[in-house]
Structure 1
Amino acid sequence: MSKSQKSLIALLGVLLLFFGFVIMRIGVAKPASTVKVAKIPAGEYDPAVWGQLYPLQYESYKKNADMSPSPTGYGGSVKVQKSEMMPELTTNFKGMPFSIDYTEDRGHVFAMEDIRETKRIGPKSPGACITCKTPYVEKFYKESGWGFAKIPFNELATQVPSHGSISCANCHNPENMDLRVINPAFTEAMQQRGIDVSKASREDMRSYVCAQCHSEYYFAPGSMKVVFPWEKGLKPGDMYAYYADKPNGFVQDWQQPDSKAAMLKTQHPDYETFATGTHGKAGVACADCHMPYVRKDGQKYSSHWMTSPLKDLDAACGSCHTQGTAWLADRIKTTQDYTFEVLHTAGQNVARAHEAIKKASEAPNADQAELAKARELVRKAGWYWDFVAAENSMGFHNPDQSLNTAAQANELARQAIESANRAAGINLL
């Protein structure tokens, strides 16, 4: 064997040893981004206890207490009355508590504090109102089933300690940190759609944990059970058709006192809007944008600062979009501005429709059939308008649908005014 051959063999031996060591290290050592799973006792709802074992996630969760306006001027976590931006809310919700108090939501950590303080809650408010405000709903449901929904809200609220707002236990199984849903209304609604949440993929669960609360619902008369109106679909027209069937004997949320129309109040249909939009259909999860992956001290973890993607566009959007933060911010702001312009006009016309119907009903020999038609039109207009107004993205979760829905609300309000004019036999507005 020549000297050069011996040298080559020696070099190959060194390389084999080196790469073997590297492969062994990769196979044996855990990467810095791995989060060690720790078991937490069932029924532990204090996020500070969870935070002792998951300090990075807990530190980011505490940022939800930071209150600041939205970078685009829509939403945000400052507790201001929404009627300051949309005065038509006062008329459109006249006769029900949202006309008295309708503030921006401050975020998950304030959920119990805000519902205790709101003027919308009174001695007659049912326990169903607590469903999406605290992880203690798991305890209430285990103890009473849906019976908790009929217990007075104030009675249940006294059982929730100061740490009891929305937190870790709402979305995580304490035994293994798997994502979970604790709102039985969501699980039941998904079952009706043929989806078994217990068998959902982790990627689906990264939206479902949000959807269990960020969705439209109503209280079934009598039982006060929380129900999601999804049997016919997730679009605004699907849900309006569902309500037309008077499900569980449910007819209305309230009667607007001017028009006497039986109205529906939409409750933050964020998931429904997102799920039928571009991102939802493309398989993007809520957490991808609102709880993006971040790194600290070499560890990769999901941020638990559940906030607007605008607060960190690089982390929230940069993994998919390469156009830069300035382009992204402008795209979001433009979409929201256009949506608000159409929505605001529609809301004003819904308010005018209530006024026109009131005047028509006071006219001598008013056509009752036309009045009934006008009331149905303003009911539908109000639903379509509120579907966009109550949704938290000002159209961005689904720009095409949101603009179309607001435009339909505007047209329906116009038709309601025309019908009121015909009922009175004169032009009222």
Structure 2
Amino acid sequence: MNEKGRISPKLVFLVLIAAGVVFALAALLVNIFQRQQEAKNTFVRVVELTDRTEDPAEWGKNFPFQFDAYRRTVDQVRTRFGGSEAVPRTPTDADPRSVVAQSKIEEDPRLKTLWAGYAFAHDFREERGHAFMLEDQAYTGRQAVVPQPGTCLQCHSSAYAPMMTLGEGDLMKGFEKMNQLPYAEARKLVNHPVTCLDCHAPDTMQLRITRPAFIEGIRALKARDGIKNYDPNTMATRQEMRAFVCGQCHVEYYFKGPEKRLTFPWANGLRADEMLTYYEETRFKDWTHADSGAPTLKAQHPEFELWSQGIHARSGVSCADCHMPYKREGAMKVSDHHVRSPLLNINRACQTCHKWPEAELKARVETVQHRTFELRNRAMDAVVALISDLKGARQRGETVADISAAQGFQRQAQFLLDFVEAENSTGFHAPQEAARVLGMSIDLARQGQLALRERKGP
């Protein structure tokens, strides 16, 4: 106080400074304590997990927070450009499902033209959550058109333990045996969609790769870069593994040879045109197009490949950072196993890095997707027009020699279009790359039409 009994402003200022320092120290100590708690092994080991524990409910006894989130992958919520709404259907003996996703080929009939003569022209639906991956594969109408091999189950089920059993403890041998089984026989060996065992080691909970096709594919990719005998389970960083475990299934692939060996076409690189070069070199085809007669390719779901060309991958952001972001459960920080679109979880999936309102971030994503979708439609029109021209040429009796060049252009243009069509981010994983691929598709389709016209003459 001064001589008049008043409190000095300087003293008040010093007291406020001291209080602020005390508050900051307290907050720091609380934060340190929370981080120490997170670092501890806080789960209760209720059951012993082994390398054959397939049932996720057993894992859930030790990891209830993760299991509770995992069970929510039954949710069906549509975003503007993806996801699924529950469409009611009447169950039958052949297909007991009472709910399915909406049909993509009914949404866009051009897809039937694109895939004429292939099973996808018969049944192709929007993707649903991981909980449905096994039953949707088992009951797809494509099974009735073309019998599927057991290879399909390596991505649509918890296949690690069955492969180990088939191989009598040798994963690679089990992989090779499952590839060669008819789907109906392989289906009897699996019991669950993808589960904890497929991504985690039961003793340490470390992330791991359990799919031999990914191990072979990434080894071929790394060999191109001069890295020999690459093994992701011993050589990848933990952050890389947070993308690799997803890349075991969310990829482009094909069935190689009569043994239907699941193969990732990565020897030349991960870009769409690099994989197309691989297919051209191996002369592989999925089917002969019913309208055009072209030896055609069907792209699958290359999320891992497109993501690898985008800004998030270059910035070290993994699949799990956005689709399984961390969340708080009391003092614990856990990865959210309710795997879903980041647009349904913007607060944790996006705003950790991007300090903008949710509405702004959603608008940015949808702007990218809308522009990609517009370009996709232009590419779709171009490829469908080429198919129509080829169909007309065949009906007029033009020979294979007359139209083979145009058929080659269709094969290439269609694969590049389908690469973006089958990829489930509508271009968002790498917008510039998606635009580049669709631009090439349009150009190749138009080159195919020119080849027919030049052959026909004035």
> Which bin holds the TM-score, normalised by the shorter protein?
0.7 to 0.9
Correspondence for 2:205 = 177
Unaligned runs of 5+ in 1: 1-18
TM-score normalised per structure 1: 0.88
Distance 1:52 1:301 in 2: 16
Q: In the superposition, relative to structure 1, how do residues 28 and 114 fare at CA in structure 2: closer, same or farther (>3 Å)?
A: closer
Are 2:267 and 1:267 equivalent residues in the alignment?
A: no
- Counterpart of 1:69 in 2: which secondary structure? coil
Query: Partners in 1 of 2:366 and 2:103 — Cα distance?
Result: 21
Q: Secondary structure at the match of 1:294?
A: strand
**Structure 2: which 5+ runs fail to align?**
1-24, 87-100, 168-172, 223-229
Residue 189 of structure 2 corresponds to which residue in structure 1?
Answer: 159
Matching residue within 145, 148, 163 for 1:125: 148
CA deviation vs aligned residue, 1:168-211 (integer Å, no higher than 9, x gap): 11111111111011110001111222332122111110000000
After superposition, the Cα gap between the structure-2 partners of 1:203 and 1:357, relative to the gap in structure 1 and judged at 3 Å, is: same
Picking from 106, 114, 117, the partner of 1:92 is 114
Structure 1 residue 236: Cα displacement: 0.6
- Distance change in 2, residues 1:83/1:28 (3 Å): closer
Q: Find the aligned partners of 1:33 and 1:73 in 2 and give their Cα distance.
A: 39
User: Mapping of 1:299-378 within 5 angstroms?
Assistant: 299-363=332-396, 366=398, 368-378=400-410
* Equivalent position of 2:425 in the other structure: 393
**Range that drifts further, 277-286 or 188-197:** 188-197
Compare relative contact order (CA 8 Å, sep 6+) and give the higher one, 1 or 2: 1
Tell me how far apart the structure 2 counterparts of residues 242 and 58 of structure 1 sit (CA, whole Å): 40
Answer yes or no: is the 8 Å Cα contact 2:162–2:189 preserved in 1.
no
Query: In the aligned structure 2, how far is the partner of 1:56 from the partner of 1:283?
Result: 26
Secondary structure of the equivalent of 1:182? Answer: coil
Identity percentage of aligned residues? 34
- 2:435 maps to a residue whose letter is L
Query: By how many angstroms is 1:74 displaced?
Result: 2.8
Write the deviation string for residues 355-409 of structure 1: whole angstroms up to 9, x where unpaired: 1011112335x47544111000010010110000000100000000101111211
Partner of 2:456: 424
- Paired AA for residue 193 in structure 2: S
Q: Which of 64, 69, 84 does residue 60 from structure 1 map onto?
A: 69
Question: Is the aligned partner of 1:31 residue 2:37?
Answer: yes
AA matched with 2:267: E
Q: Is the 8 A contact 1:50 1:58 kept in 2?
A: yes
Aligned to 2:277: 241
Give the 3 Å change call, closer, same or farther, for CA 77–57 of structure 1 in structure 2: farther
Offset of residue 30 of structure 1? 4.6
In 2 relative to 1, CA 138–218 (structure 1 residues): closer, same or farther, beyond 3 Å? farther
Q: Aligned-pair distance for 1:51?
A: 0.8
Mapped partners of 1:175, 1:277: distance in 2: 34
Aligned to 1:196: 231
Q: Tell whether the 8 Å contact from 1:108 to 1:167 is kept in structure 2 after alignment.
A: no
Q: Which amino acid in 2 is paired with 1:418?
A: L
Equivalents in 2 of 1:282, 1:340: separation in Å? 25
- Measured in 2, the distance between the counterparts of 1:29 and 1:408 equals 49
Q: Report the count of equivalent residues.
A: 398
Q: Which deviates the most, 76-85 or 271-280? A: 76-85
Give the Å deviation of 1:85.
3.2
When normalised by structure 2's length, the TM-score is 0.82
Comparing 284-293 with 136-145, greater Cα deviation is found at: 136-145
Change (3 A) 1:381 1:309: same
1:235 & 1:26 partners in 2: Cα distance?
A: 43
In the TM superposition, residue 28 of structure 1 has moved relative to its aligned partner by 12
Whether contact under 8 Å (1:292, 1:303) holds in the other structure is yes
Q: For residue 193 of structure 1, give the secondary structure of its aligned residue in structure 2.
A: helix
Residue 159 of structure 2 corresponds to residue 136 of structure 1: yes
- The amino acid of 1:284's aligned partner reads V
Counterparts in 2 of 1:296 and 1:131: CA distance versus 1, 3 Å:
same
Aligned to 2:81: 73
Closer, same or farther: CA 239–77 of 1 in aligned 2, 3 Å: farther
Partner amino acid for 2:154? T
Structure 2 counterpart of 1:222, one-letter code = P
Aligned-pair Cα RMSD in Å: 2.2
Structure 2 partner of 1:295? 328
